[in-house]
Amino acid sequence: MDPTLTLSARELAEKIRAQTLSSRAVVEAHVRRIEEVNPILNAVVRERFFAARREADAADRAVAEGRDDLGPLHGVPCTIKESFALSGMPNTGGLVARQGRLAEHDSVAVARVRAAGAIPLGITNVSELCMWWESSNRVYGRTSNPYDPSRCVGGSSGGEGAIVGAGASPFGLGSDIGGSIRIPAFFNGVFGHKSTGGLVPATGQFPIPHGHALRMMTSGPIARRAEDLMPILRVLAGSDPGDPLCRDFPLGDPAAVELSRLRAVSIEENGFSRVDEELVAAQRRVEAHLRTGGVEVTRARSKEVLPELASSLEIWSARMSTAGGPTFAAMLGNGPDVNAFRELLKWTLGRSAHTLPALVLAIVERFPHLAEARMHVALEAFESLKEKLAQLIGKDGVLLYPSFTQPAPRHNRPLLNPFQFSYPSILNALEVPSTQVPLGLGTRGLPLGIQVASLHENDHVTIAVALELERAFGGWVPPRMAYAA
């Protein structure tokens, strides 16, 4: 692999400013990699290479002129999840009814990274309406994993996870309402950060949640190197009039975190879904390493300290249900409710414009009485879990927790066990920060990983731990991609 494709965004920006690398050369290296791997992955669903080259040349001229207003991402290429509006590019959310619709303006998050100097190379694939953990839709098709193309990339930011994991983008923008940054980052062996609820505005995205779900959904970076997480988060953070629940608060510095004074609680299961033994073993290696650095690590069983975790899916569903907004069926219909039963029949004949997971969700929501029977109990469990987690890890502690139940499964397997996203989704319900950290490859050649979570406004703490774990375990392992030759 071209060494340029292994550098962090920070390193690339430094080399561009120092003129040891040109922005044009960096962009060209990543374009070549996209052209090499994308026929197999189908991760980038619309490119803007001509415009990116033009922007790279402008970035190089600014350096040559000695401009002193260069942003922290000056001249660095990136990719953008298709659900973020990027001017002149499609913004369908994977919905056939919006096919052909182009964004007229940049979303706030995109505008902020571009103002910091980043150069988008294209947009990446999503699941239909960003509500499933395999990235496939009737607009763009299905995305495949760079470590094994027979396997999933996760969702809904699956295209981002795949193209960053393949080494074809230093970082990308993703959004996460139930694991949609962390699952793709885990499946594709890279870093992903779900920020504290309300830190990054969702203005200009489609679809966009309503009510308190605006805090449950957060936007953030998917990156091949941990050192990029906090600088990109600083670029993205801050209030915006278009997102009434976004707020300003100071971001801490990961370098100021003294790991030897940190307290970590490690929970290996939630009492609902079993976790793969290889992931448990990797989590225990993390525990052992942190102990050698002086971290106070306690391994605990969920049923003894946080029994509410067994109700993770009910808690997340209750929080989503009480947020308000249009029905999922109305979103599928792009206004009027889609007839999910009719579409399901059409799907069996291969004639529906929708994916099976989306139709099933639209059918399930027609029977709210199934959830209402336990809604009150689930919301009580939510309040109890918030309080107990704060007491368990303390003000500056962290929770070590599985990113998922297993490494990337084969395509379509999520349909057989759709509820495995309970491990990341509960942290959305709680609105706490969480960083997915890659831990090398397992015996099947697939990425392993772990989540590091903390309390509100402790984004810098989880990222500090991610930096240490990258140093200890190596972080992202570039895939061989022999099948692309």
Point out the residues that are catalytic: 81, 156, 180
Are the CB atoms for 455 and 389 separated by under 8 Å?
yes
First to last CA, the chain: 12
DSSP 99-130: TT-B-SS--HHHHHHHHTT-EEEEEE---GGG
Q: Record the tokens describing residue 106, joined without a space.
A: 């940049």
DSSP 278-316: HHHHHHHHHHHHHHHTT-EEEEE-HHHH-GGGGGHHHHH
Q: Residue 338, SS3?
A: coil
> What residues pair up with 399 in beta bridges, in sequence order?
265, 453
**Residue 155 to residues 134, 144, 317, Cα–Cα distance (Å):** 5, 11, 17
Q: Residue 350, SS3?
A: coil
CA dihedral 122, 134, 434, 129 (to 10 degrees): 70
Q: Residue 332, SS3?
A: helix
Are the CB atoms for 165 and 479 separated by under 8 Å?
yes
CA distance 215 to 319: 11
CB-based contacts of 369, cutoff 8 Å, min separation 6: none
**Residue 442 to residues 184, 279, 407, 459, Cα–Cα distance (Å):** 17, 9, 9, 28
Q: Record the tokens describing residue 130, joined without a space.
A: 């960003």
CA dihedral 215, 221, 227, 228 (to 10 degrees): -120
CB-based contacts of 264, cutoff 8 Å, min separation 6: 287, 290, 295, 296, 297, 298, 393, 397, 398, 399, 400, 465
* Strand 171-176, strand 77-81: pairing: parallel
CA distance 400 to 452: 5
